[in-house]
Structure 1
């Protein structure tokens, strides 16, 4: 590397480094940014991928924001990998993803990846950066009153123990740093550091960071910006701001796990800073009494790190990048401005944000009540925020006469209902200070309560019952067409009691009969359309091998598929060993579906297109009424022109005439310990199935940090209304026996799950009109291979609702089960 290095014996004092040029002293306040593109945030989609959004009204993003599902999966996936292969091996496998975190941070900050260090917290970054400045007795530090408690304590300690002079910058009438006073302080003599918090912990203030940076740069003084509360909610570009050092944390508006932080140091200052305690991560021990620092910001890092948490940070940064910082900033600013305005209108409530407030943080006090008591009263109503004492921001709060404030901070998962709940609860608390708290709001009004169906006098165009993969697909396609459509789910969205849960599913073109070919082609096109609409990858093409005893009368075949013998199969998938006498079909377009993300995407897109959703709303019965259908729930009676039943294993309960033709069984799946870098990982395996005496064994490679996934396509008959206990030792032993036959090297079971199959005698789906009731459609598209057709079945059901004839579905018609005709 060509960058210069600094040795442990030649450190120089960097108090007055050469500084890149900055724009001249700007006016105060800063000019507004250019108009952003007209893009809005899909709050429903963000709530759908944020499980915590359903557990209450969360207003603590400035403390620790709610994590998205993908972030949690990134952390857990790496921990599983560490448990299976060891920490060092897992880190080696994850090295590209870990390195990508630096690039994502750099892109967020307008910096270069080599100027970024990953640390455990913003405070850790602050302490390492300031210590590396090697401040000497008499050095002046100009600090904004917005400085956080940990930063202030470090400076005060340096003042007391090392003779550093800490000068507090006065605020202007708007509550932000007075830029004229800063310029006067810089002109009065040399300074070693200027520091400010972009957004303080104690209010919604936004400091004029670019103005501070311009002045510091003009005087050649390093500027350290604490972006802990601004990263993730405001655009933060180090070059535009003119800051040389920046610290931040992951747990706040970036929505990353706790225990993650960052430190960015721009060149040329980076090359002048020498950490006080170099670590093997950041230095090379070159001789018995000498060492060299690495040439980039990793000199500030430690060897020991929580790689799983850093991968979670990377996932959160990727989410932010996909949403766009400007889009997030507009949404949060709008929410916070509305909340400030509404709280300020409440009698007995005082908003304590200064005039320069503009961030996602809103602070207030209630007359006659301690802020902690207000926090507790709100918590009783499942409204989560915190009280900030003056001890967390004394330089800011003491001059304003504040001992404690209530702090609410909004994020992308907050909506109007959250604001309504907070404002109305504060109104109640302020109306009767000291009075006993009223009872919590009824369940139906709370954020974690089900979205329920109410008695509705209008007749909807369609109601979809069951929101697994096929029901959610139908709901989405009907909503896209502009229909007034309602989706009903008897359990919570994403539940694990049916057939659509779990992480992965298989997609393939290999089928035993040409009847399937057209629908398979439609399915592949439908997945591409769904990925494009959802702006996310849902299908990973891995290729697939599907094996059975040679000479079977109904071998798999399909467009682009070809038969292979055991020897060629071993070359294609080295991790799979076929028994003697077996042959296989190779499908190069087979792959793995992200099942969990598919459900989230389809429901989010449905809501975005206008669909209504009510979960925890069982359908008690339905009956035709002329050209319409009456649907009964516990909450009321609904009417619809078309009823679409996608009830999975509960289909027979909704359509009793189908009961003799539908068999429900319990299926066990399990994860087996396997090295993702070995033959059972993606390099040696794809999606597969082998028809063994124990049953059809199917599975996927160890690609998600959880190990090899496998299941047997056979199991006992099961009542879908009965409890479903975990897999038994006998079931897991049978599955492990099958895995050992064809997947040498698989370790023990690490976790297991169960699901329900609904099958017909011919293993074909049931899709079409309920015999005798043309205004009711049914889709029982399971039979162990239905998930892959989800988006295509949804489109087909939407066609049928709208009166479009689909002769390509005749081979799946319910009428085939009733040769003499039948009725519901």
Structure 2
């Protein structure tokens, strides 16, 4: 059974009114929700604005509502620019982080003798996309080594860049299977020095911590709405740098939102990030806008600070349990906490967590083939707390795991 105690820590966490946040989060009261790295819980204002949008579409039709909400739609770019410390012109709305990533990849003018430099810890869908490009275009894929502590071996990374002059460097900020936070700023410095296009998958970091692409030095940054941003599914965005815009990079497939048909045989792309967008607009965009506005009102620095408090409590509790193996490596760790209990069947863990109303994820070996092969594991339990969780919940779920581990 869940404990009814939810200690208030708002005085210790500037900017975090935990009572108000939990009142807005209806799904957090009857369970311990630890899957924000998968699909987080939407706040009530996000749900309400989507209902209002859908009700309008029921009465007026989609095109009419889009025209009525022109200013509201523009708010997405303003709110994202505030969150990322960039300009609205650098933002494109998409239906997912995967769509953003594919559009960015398609904008790189690859040739058959080109290569991509990446890491062992990139997201499964990204790795498959690289392999598909290899299969179709003959691109080479080079993966930088890891240091013993799990970080990227930056010396090896730079050697690969220097030796192979890749058409693209692409890495994942936080892998889906691990709490590792990769050294994205250092990679950005290397890419700038050698003039290499740099694509960053920030799907698991935006909304969880402070992420500022201009400070990182990336040319493209992709993210999803449904994870730590607490928005709806089928939403995402793509950040594109001024360098990309000025170079005239464009996606392989463009529709009328991204370009103007100017002559029988010619078109003119948008001079901003919208060149990467498709025409379709729906209530999901309104929901994403409200989710980002919600985060901005709290302040991403405040969210990041409280997330660190949650993360440290959970890791401290779990690391104290004899026999439990925390799997996350790296000099900097995130709110993705992965572990296993050697000698305890996965089915036993799954059934016990489910019966105690704990929502979490199991990561399997094929999600992270290289990393899990190195670690010698076939699966891991992944907890991903977020700022609507309490320290009391971190203690409660740790106690539940301890009972499984006896």
TM-score under structure 2 length normalisation: 0.94
Inter-partner Cα distance in structure 1 for 2:62 and 2:275? 22
> Is contact 2:314-2:395 (8 Å) kept?
no
In the alignment, what sits opposite 1:389?
364
In the alignment, what sits opposite 2:22?
47
Q: 2:257 aligned with 1:281, yes or no?
A: yes
Identify the match of residue 170 of structure 2 among 195, 206, 228.
195
In the alignment, what sits opposite 2:77?
102
Structure scoring higher RCO (CA < 8 A, sep ≥ 6) equals 2
In the alignment, what sits opposite 1:87?
62
In the alignment, what sits opposite 2:91?
116
Judging changes above 3 Å, is the alpha-carbon distance between structure 1 residues 169 and 370 closer, same or farther for their aligned structure 2 residues?
farther
Identify the match of residue 384 of structure 2 among 394, 398, 409.
409
Inter-partner Cα distance in structure 1 for 2:270 and 2:346? 48
Identify the match of residue 56 of structure 1 among 28, 31, 40.
31
In the alignment, what sits opposite 1:159?
134
In the alignment, what sits opposite 2:8?
none
5+ unaligned residues in a row in structure 1: which ranges? 1-36, 432-824
Inter-partner Cα distance in structure 1 for 2:330 and 2:91? 34
Secondary structure in 1 matching 2:405: helix
In the alignment, what sits opposite 2:279?
303
In the alignment, what sits opposite 2:104?
129
In the alignment, what sits opposite 2:40?
65
In the alignment, what sits opposite 1:353?
328
In the alignment, what sits opposite 1:380?
355
Secondary structure in 2 matching 1:319: helix
Inter-partner Cα distance in structure 1 for 2:221 and 2:147? 24
Q: 2:123 aligned with 1:168, yes or no?
A: no
Query: Deviations along 1:130-155, whole A, 9 cap, x unmatched?
Result: 01113111212110222111111000
5+ unaligned residues in a row in structure 2: which ranges? 1-11
Q: 2:217 aligned with 1:229, yes or no?
A: no
> Is contact 1:375-1:386 (8 Å) kept?
no
1:274 Cα deviation after fit? 2.1
Inter-partner Cα distance in structure 1 for 2:354 and 2:224? 25
Q: 2:331 aligned with 1:321, yes or no?
A: no
1:189 Cα deviation after fit? 3.2
Q: 2:394 aligned with 1:419, yes or no?
A: yes
Aligned residues between the structures: 394
1:402 Cα deviation after fit? 2.3
1:355 Cα deviation after fit? 3.5
Query: Deviations along 1:195-216, whole A, 9 cap, x unmatched?
Result: 1111110111111111110111
1:128 Cα deviation after fit? 0.8
Q: 2:181 aligned with 1:206, yes or no?
A: yes
Secondary structure in 2 matching 1:167: strand
Secondary structure in 2 matching 1:188: helix
> Is contact 2:257-2:278 (8 Å) kept?
yes
1:288 Cα deviation after fit? 2.3
The answer to which structure has the higher strand fraction is 1
Inter-partner Cα distance in structure 2 for 1:375 and 1:329? 29
Inter-partner Cα distance in structure 1 for 2:148 and 2:226? 32
1:381 Cα deviation after fit? 0.9
Secondary structure in 1 matching 2:221: strand
TM-score under structure 1 length normalisation: 0.47
1:373 Cα deviation after fit? 4.7
Secondary structure in 1 matching 2:196: coil
Larger radius of gyration, structure 1 or 2? 1
Query: Deviations along 1:600-638, whole A, 9 cap, x unmatched?
Result: xxxxxxxxxxxxxxxxxxxxxxxxxxxxxxxxxxxxxxx
Secondary structure in 2 matching 1:263: strand
Inter-partner Cα distance in structure 2 for 1:63 and 1:121? 13
1:287 Cα deviation after fit? 2.3
Secondary structure in 2 matching 1:286: strand
Q: 2:243 aligned with 1:268, yes or no?
A: yes
Between 1:351-360 and 1:227-236, the stretch displaced more is 351-360
Identify the match of residue 140 of structure 1 among 97, 110, 115.
115
Q: 2:222 aligned with 1:240, yes or no?
A: no
> Is contact 2:13-2:306 (8 Å) kept?
no
Inter-partner Cα distance in structure 2 for 1:110 and 1:146? 27
Q: 2:184 aligned with 1:215, yes or no?
A: no
Identify the match of residue 365 of structure 1 among 310, 333, 340.
340
> Is contact 1:147-1:395 (8 Å) kept?
no
RMSD, aligned CA: 1.5
In the alignment, what sits opposite 1:179?
154
1:38 Cα deviation after fit? 7.7
Secondary structure in 2 matching 1:256: coil
In the alignment, what sits opposite 1:518?
none
Inter-partner Cα distance in structure 2 for 1:114 and 1:213? 21
1:193 Cα deviation after fit? 0.9
1:110 Cα deviation after fit? 2.0
Inter-partner Cα distance in structure 2 for 1:373 and 1:81? 47
Secondary structure in 2 matching 1:194: strand
Identify the match of residue 317 of structure 2 among 342, 358, 366.
342
In the alignment, what sits opposite 1:294?
270
